[in-house]
A and B are shown apart, each in its own frame.
Chain A
Amino acid sequence: MKERKPKNFFVQGPIAASFIAESIQDHSSRTGIGAHSIFLGQVRADRIDDKEVESIEYTAYEEMALDKMHAIREDMFAKYDLACMHVYHSLGNVRTGEISLFVFTSAAHRRAAIDACQEIVERVKSELPVWGKELFGDQSFQWKANQ
């Protein structure tokens, strides 16, 4: 197996809808692909007591996250018959309604694309050293907890 340098998958701020559209367009020449699966994580305006989340400030242990993502990538290509996979995660401030996680898998057939996409999302949430600080309108905050 060839050794690849971990690719930086962090994006400063929100992930733009136009970037997602371009990512899909970029695959139009890959005619062996018959199925794409996409997961988009959007910042939710959770209400806690009488306060509402306005944005999430993401931080990460970036060097470790890149190594982890590289390992997840290798596992996915070993387990599923994927043509390609792309993962992008925000760092810094992302407001409610904006996208902070973009997982994009492609395969000849739908099953591999769908199953890999789902597994990547679960592993991103449970294995990547990334933290979200939920910011409220009154300058207060709480640390996000994944369910």
Chain B
Amino acid sequence: MSIHIILFGRLADIAGSSVSLDNVADTDGLVRALHSTYPALAESKYVIAVNKQVITSNTSLDENSVVALLPPYSGG
């Protein structure tokens, strides 16, 4: 199962604007895998959205999940 992740703002400078990961079942696993590949992400502040909803606890993922990593907003 491959999970598609989109990244924005300064996070896209670190890892590119999209990343695909295999063998991740939930968001905790996804974060561990991403931080090990991109250590600078571990130093960054961000929230995770699954299917456009910001999550606050570990969330299981399936192949249709759209995962987005969102750094602090700075619109306006």
Query: Which residues of B does A touch, CB under 8 Å?
Result: 6, 8-10, 49, 52, 68, 70-76
Of the 9-residue stretches A16-24, A25-33, A54-62, which lies at the interface with chain B?
A: A54-62
Chain B residue nearest in CB terms to A121: B76
Find chain B residues with CB under 8 A from A89 CB.
75-76
- Is there contact, CB below 8 Å, between A67 and B72? no
Chain B residue nearest in CB terms to A59: B8
- Is there contact, CB below 8 Å, between B75 and A124? yes
15 sample A-B contacts, Cβ–Cβ < 8 Å, listed by A number: A58-B75, A61-B68, A63-B52, A101-B75, A101-B76, A125-B73, A129-B8, A129-B70, A131-B8, A131-B75, A143-B10, A143-B71, A144-B74, A145-B72, A146-B75
- Is there contact, CB below 8 Å, between A130 and B74? yes
